[in-house]
Amino acid sequence: MHSDVRAFARNHGAPLGIFIALALLMTWPLALNFTAAVPGDGVDNTGHMWNMWWLKYALLHGQNPFSTRMIFYPEGVSLWLHTLNLFNFLISLPFQMLFGLIVAYNAAIIFALATGGYTAYLLAVDVTDDRRAALVAGVIYGFSGYVLAQVIGHHNLMAVQWLPVVVLALRRVTRGGGRLWIGVAALALWFNLLCDWQYFLFAMIWGGWYALTVFWERRSLRAVAPVGAALALGALLALPMAIPTAMVAAQTPQADTGEAYRLDHSADLLDFAIPSQLHPVWGSLSERWQSYKPNMTIQNKTAYLGFIAVGLAVIGVRRKEGHFWLISALVFAVLALGPHLQVGGVGTGIPLPAALLYNLPLINVSRVPLRFVVLALLALAMLAALGTRQILARFPQPARRNALLAGLVGLIALENLTMPYPLSPIYIAPIYAEMGGDGEQYAILDAPFYRRTSFIHMFYQAVHEKPLVEGHLSRKQANQLETQLPLIRAFAHARPAPDIIGQDYLDIASSVFSYFNIRYILLHSDGGALRYSEMLEFAQAAADGNPPQEQGSSVVYPDARRASTLRRTMGLVELQPSGSALIYEVVPPETPLPFLGIGDGWSYPEAQADGSVQRTVEREADLIVYSAEPRDVVLELHVAPQQSGRLYITRNGADLTAWVLDAGRNILSTPLHVDAGETRFTLIPETTGALAVELVDLANAPMTP
């Protein structure tokens, strides 16, 4: 009994302990700042922290985790296309419940790094039957430049621990492992899905590649059948998530997935030989060497294989059993190069297999070919383990073997060293805790809505738990209020939002915010909102002229495209805010005014030479009137058809008004009755070409004597 415990501790506990120690080393000084800072640039990492909070919130409140009204308020948004990373959430939930969100996020990082090395170690034990050599494989894979770069903010992509389990289980099923290993393979595929859709696809592609090699070697479909069964069962487990995701994807415009985008996000041939920019010694050199990718973040351009790993792999490939791993490493390295070969930022025009792969269904939703390098690294790690086994076999003395092993592990760790890891201190303005403690229901507008600011504002939601007008997801989504209301658009982008609506924003500001129950407007200096003076005037008008509070806001976040701009220190990070926020409390008007919104069917607003703004209507377009109470109003329209025609206004399909239009400018008006709430009117032109609309305005109907 005791011998079994000692053997388990030696074979599993000791390697896992080494990987935990390496995780703490590579992310140092995270251990010193575990409750006050998170690794990364303060952008994507805060977005993933919001994921963790939202999933806990949905779980505790019995809500669907794949749909929320807590962002993109009031309409809400589907989260099926968003990278939620359910697995990291499940792992971190106990930490979140006991110690809070920051500790949970950091614990998930240490867990992912340590288990990534450990599962690669288990696979290498199966490949080499040598636990010492397997330890080298775990370090090469789990602490590669690629994986450590993902810690900057790609919480989903650092979770590489289930890919080796899939590979291991598929090896076992072809060696008579039976139903147990088929189930393990399918479950590991599903866990990859919970980490990231791309890794699930990568694992399925690996399974297909492995089945092909097994068939080539044995010339038997029967030998391949267990692999097919495991992949089919894994696909079946994925269906409950795959079907709704596909349905939402079919209705959502997909941006940034074309060949040009993929080419930008492919590995350059030199990327395989350039160390991570996070390295404390030669990172600055790497930054210069990778100057051909000035706009790519470190996460999306780190594909370093490691010279020591490659050297060990060269030794390992001499054995026949290494041939499969060599070919596998080459196959997935070529896929990481994307649709066309690039060398030093120069396109060669040479087409590569990925150009065909990305034309296949499902795979074409993947946007970053470079990420295939994770499988190339896994195959390389197995080759390196085979090479290490051969080297260690030359030293029969245990002391020398262990010393050589320690030296190899140390050199590989040194080659990929990222200490001190860049950290983002988390500062939360006191106002958010006050909002969270008031027990009332209302929404908040944090401005502006930039990607870099939206994620941190979403993180603040974990403190106040109020709906946010803004939001940012993995796939860009339209914001209803921003689209419909130019006033909200001005706050979103911290700049003027000229449009065809003629109402004075200062007059309607308090009515707009009160109607949607938006109680607080926070203007943040870190997004540049305070430079737009008119926005301050709009917020002041919504607050009925009352002055704002001013509090320290978030820190200044660095540029993750260059390691030299990241915040790095070997000790404790400072928690002082470097920005500020003006906080306006909305005062509901005594007599709320109705206001206009732009519905569906309109072109984008276009500035004209005379300074005016114009939108066009092709077939029909909606105007929305929001009113806190039933009102009689007068709608005024300035339209300019190219030729004479007619214009109809309908409500719920019933004609209300029709006008005969002359060519050129027409000024039209009609009385309308609007109910409390949202009333939609549809404009239907019968004109040659699109109808140009220069102005829509709303006024109270005159009182009848």
Model confidence over 659-697: pLDDT tens digits?
Answer: 999 999 999 999 988 999 999 999 999 988 889 999 999
74-83, 453-462, 566-575: least confidently modelled range: 566-575
Which residues does residue 658 pair with via DSSP β-bridges, in sequence order?
A: 648
Is residue 704 predicted with pLDDT exceeding 50?
no
Model confidence over 619-634: pLDDT tens digits?
Answer: 999 999 999 999 999 9
Mean pLDDT across the chain: 90
Q: What is the pLDDT of residue 391?
A: 94
Q: What's the average model confidence in pLDDT over 241-269? A: 81
Are 432 and 108 in contact, with CB atoms under 8 Å apart? no
Are 167 and 184 in contact, with CB atoms under 8 Å apart? no
Cα distances (Å, whole numbers) of residue 359 to 231, 363, 551, 672? 21, 7, 51, 52
Is residue 557 predicted with pLDDT exceeding 70?
no
Is residue 1 predicted with pLDDT exceeding 70?
no
DSSP at 448: -
How many CA atoms within 13 Å lie on the side-chain side of 308? 21
47-56, 148-157, 227-236, 567-576: least confidently modelled range: 567-576
Tell me if the bond preceding 467 is cis, omega within 30° of 0: no
Q: Which residue has the higher pLDDT, 579 or 308?
A: 308
Report pTM: 0.92
Is residue 705 predicted with pLDDT exceeding 50?
no
Cα–Cα distance measured from residue 508 to residue 487, given in angstroms and rounded to the nearest whole number: 9
544: region left, alpha or beta (phi > 0 left; psi from -120 to 50 alpha): left
42-46, 284-288, 558-562: least confidently modelled range: 558-562
Q: Residue 387's pLDDT band (boundaries 50, 70, 90)?
A: very high
Q: What is the pLDDT of residue 703?
A: 46
Q: Residue 464's pLDDT band (boundaries 50, 70, 90)?
A: very high
Q: What's the average model confidence in pLDDT over 483-494? A: 92
Are 446 and 429 in contact, with CB atoms under 8 Å apart? no
The residues near 60 (Cβ < 8 Å, ≥ 6 apart) are none
Q: What is the pLDDT of residue 451?
A: 76
